[in-house]
Chain A
Amino acid sequence: MKRFVVFVIFVALAVFFQSTALYDKIGIRDTAPDFVLIIVCIAAFLTGPVGGEVLGFVTGFVVDVLSGGLLGLFAFTYTLVGYGVGLLGKRVYGKSVLITITLLFAVTIIKAAILTMLAAIFLKPGYFGYFMRGRVFLEAVMNGVITPVLFVIITRIQMRVAE
């Protein structure tokens, strides 16, 4: 339970941080890493599919509410991501940093693909172009690079909390 609280705190911080103007300033070419996605993935890695999907759903729902956009869009996406990473997590956990980077790269692309699909169904067609542009790949690289660092920080905090 304590471990899960750490994730909740981190994910809340990520959501709040992404709501500040500071978040836009850290980006390159209007693209910044998705810290919320990264933390959901790390949580899924360490807690498994159930933990990942539940945290993904709650986080996505909060993001939907705060965005004022389509309710359920990010809840759906992060739930799927949380489940998928949770399933894979046990197989690839601790094997290599490169695998973690590659996984987050792939997850970001998958997130964009899910959002694209949902946007095509529920939103205006104009949103479709957003996910097809190069910024998705840039975000994927950023997410992949940042994840190992955040992974180390979160696991260390978790160990201290557990002690």
Chain B
Amino acid sequence: MENPFRHRALVVLAALLFVSFTLMGFSQSRVTIRFKSVAYAVAYPFQYSGVKSITFVKDFFSSLKNNKYLKKELAVTRSLLEEYERTQHEFEEIKRENERLRKLIGIQSELEYETVIAEVVAKSPQNLYKTIIVNRGKESGIERWMPVVAYQDGTKCVVGKVIDVQPFSSRIQPLIDQSNYIGAMLKATRYSGLLVGQSPVSEQCLLQYIDRRADIAYGDIVVTSGMGGIFPKGIPIGEVVSVSKKTYGIFQEAMVQPTVDFGRLEEVYIITKRVTEDYFSDRELRP
């Protein structure tokens, strides 16, 4: 006798696959994008509470384990703080002098942008995507395409850009994502190129379209070029780890190891710089 449940399973399967396939097929439509955004706004509080609970348990046990180490760290930090306080005054003096000299020789100081500090709340649950969720959104003045940086080991470095904003959270596309393009240049030689992420295939980025006359060496620092309209100029991105120079063509390429370590990223700084108009010239991305 034929099992009726088998047919029921097939019917349900066909319906669910149809829904999934339709969603994928209409992934670029405004309705789907809006739906995804609303669905995420609904899911965010649950994800936030769930991830925070797991992190709390982990932190509780690691704090017990690290108690001794923390005491030692506290002593070191206190002595460092004293040292920093001493140098702070000196720094302010130098800064004032620098500004005065800049005015004297007629150079405008680099534009500085306000930043909003945000805590990394969660990441994508699948390694296929590397997006990061932070706990600042529209309520904090965050907008789509704002650049995101971090300070790790005392160095400022590019993290990525904001791609989706909710009232109390934002999604960041990291620079290693293969959909991410950043105008970059070699800090020493000033040759510029286009940095493209390689994730999920690789955690490194590819710096393309570098003039083949440029001498590139292992360890060369790559910074943002300021072109592209999103990132301000001069923010460190990473170091060159390999160079590919073919016998033909006018360009060469280099693999870049990002400075930012996504594995220990806890806080980021969102630069509240609005994207320049030229970024939208050939895109239908206008917010």
Contact = CB atoms under 8 A, between A and B. Distances in A.
Given A50-B5, A66-B47, A122 B24 contact: yes
Interface in B27-76: 27, 32, 35-36, 39-40, 43, 46-47, 50-51, 53-55, 58
A126 B202 CA distance: 10
A22 B62 CA distance: 12
Contact of A68 (B19, B120, B163, B265): B163
B39 A65 contact: yes
Given A18-B126, A63-B126, A71-B32, A48 B9 contact: yes
Nearest to A133: B201
Given A19-B51, A76-B17, A71 B198 contact: no
A36 B27 contact: no
A75 B19 contact: yes
Interface in B155-212: 163-164, 171, 178-179, 198, 200-201, 203
Contacts of A24: 123, 262-263
Contact of A80 (B17, B43, B126, B131): B17
A41 B36 CA distance: 26
B106 interface: no
A49 B164 CA distance: 36
B179 A30 contact: no
A4 interface: no
A31 B23 CA distance: 28
Interface string A70-93: 111111100110010011000000
14 contacts: A19-B47, A20-B54, A21-B264, A48-B5, A53-B9, A53-B16, A65-B36, A66-B47, A68-B164, A69-B124, A69-B126, A83-B13, A115-B128, A127-B178
B125 A127 contact: no
Of A24, A32, A133, most B-chain CB atoms within 10 Å: A24
A50 B12 contact: yes
Contact of A20 (B9, B13, B123, B179): B123
B122 interface: yes
A156 interface: no
**Interface size class of chain B, counting residues whose CB lies under 8 Å from the partner chain:** 35 or more
Contacts of A75: 16, 19-20, 23
Contacts of A63: 125-126
A139 to B, nearest CB: 9
A22 B55 contact: yes
Of B122, B127, B131, B179, the most chain A CB neighbours within 10 A belong to B127
B129 interface: yes
A57 interface: yes
B17 A79 contact: yes
Contacts of B51: 16, 19-20
Interface of B: 5-6, 8-9, 12-13, 16-17, 19-25, 27, 32, 35-36, 39-40, 43, 46-47, 50-51, 53-55, 58, 120, 122-129, 131, 133, 163-164, 171, 178-179, 198, 200-201, 203, 262-266
A60 to B, nearest CB: 7
A12 B277 CA distance: 42
Contacts of A79: 13, 16-17, 20
A19 B127 contact: no
A69 B128 contact: yes
B65 to A, nearest CB: 14
A4 to B, nearest CB: 15
Interface string A45-56: 000111001101
Contacts of B36: 64-65, 68, 71
